[in-house]
Amino acid sequence: MSAPIPAETGWDSAPGLLEGAMTLDLTPEQCDLGYWLRGVAQGTLAGRAETGHTDAEPTPEHMRADGPLRDAQVLELSCRSVAEAQATRVLAHYVAQAPDIVELEFFTTQLVDEARHSMVFRRHLLAMGVPADRLHASIAEVSAEYRREVLEPILDFALTTVRDEGDFVGGVAVFTIIIEGVLAPAAELSERKWNLLDPAAGAIARGAAIDEVRHLTVGSSVVRRHLLRRPERKAALLDIVRRGREIWDGIPDRKHVLRREELFQAGMREHADLLAGYEVWPGQPLLSTTPEQRYAMAEQWTDRMAAARLVHMGLPEAIDLLRLTD
């Protein structure tokens, strides 16, 4: 008899990103290669392995039509595809530097997760009508400024920590607290925005979020265990968070997020009939939100999630260092 699919990797049973990241406690021992082959490959990805969605979650015709809604999605998916591809390259160094088989197996699965995310984001662009022979060039053109201004500085920091300084746990802290921790709430917002306007994109975002919960919680447990064994390392890890925050403060993330949110704003108005009565978060109709409100909510989600994870790791002193909202 085969073992059951873990609840946190089941499509219908897995928690949302915010809930899962703030409440689940998963370790690399739990989330080994066997766990991934069973729970993710046969659970999360069942029927969705190649595209991230099923035939019952279609790409509507209006997502192939020229206009601000399609432009918003092309911009978002191009940037997210590049982010995931670059993260995959960086994670190769985490696999190489893993101190034992437990961490090696887990970060190998995370590397595969990020590569898969990049793939399904790219493939959805094809479903939206981006020509196959122009796909990679189009992604590079659309995402060039985002890659240069947002991705490269923060991913270079991770590389410096794990590859050049040889600090594996410090590198895990950078990825978990700074990179995934700050970018994940935007992914949560993406799922909520698109699930009615583009069911295929909503499903793709859902699958990626299930994976990100695992990445955040296991990364947190690696840092927590390290500090329990070596409490004298707390000052060094807090310094890594401080340096990461200084880098993030110099990144024009707001400019890039608001650019695509403004396109989305114009596009959702053109398809308001699909969103009648839909609340993007409790008590808040999506149609009555503004780009600035959605960005501000993503920042609030970041703060809540960071506070919960940092306390779990044993780094509550870092909460104020990372706080994005007053």
Q: What are the pLDDT tens digits along the chain (326 aa)?
A: 467 999 999 999 999 998 999 999 999 999 999 999 999 999 999 999 999 999 999 999 999 999 999 999 999 999 999 999 999 999 999 999 999 999 999 999 999 999 999 999 999 999 999 999 999 999 999 999 999 999 999 999 999 999 999 999 999 999 999 888 777 777 889 999 999 999 999 999 999 999 999 999 999 999 999 999 999 999 999 999 999 999 999 999 999 999 999 999 999 999 999 999 999 999 999 999 999 999 999 999 988 999 999 999 999 999 998 887 76
103 a known binding residue? Answer: no
Burial class (CB in 10 A: 0-12, 13-18, 19+), 4: exposed
226 a known binding residue? Answer: no
pTM of the model: 0.95
84 a known binding residue? Answer: yes
Distance of alpha carbon 272 from alpha carbon 277, whole angstroms: 10
114 a known binding residue? Answer: yes
Nearest alpha carbon to residue 271 among 282, 263, 259, 283: 263
* CATH 1.10.620.20 holds for 28-37+58-268+286-322: yes
Can you state the percent helix, strand and coil of the chain, rounding each to 5?
A: 75, 0, 25
Contact 38, 3 (CB under 8 A): yes
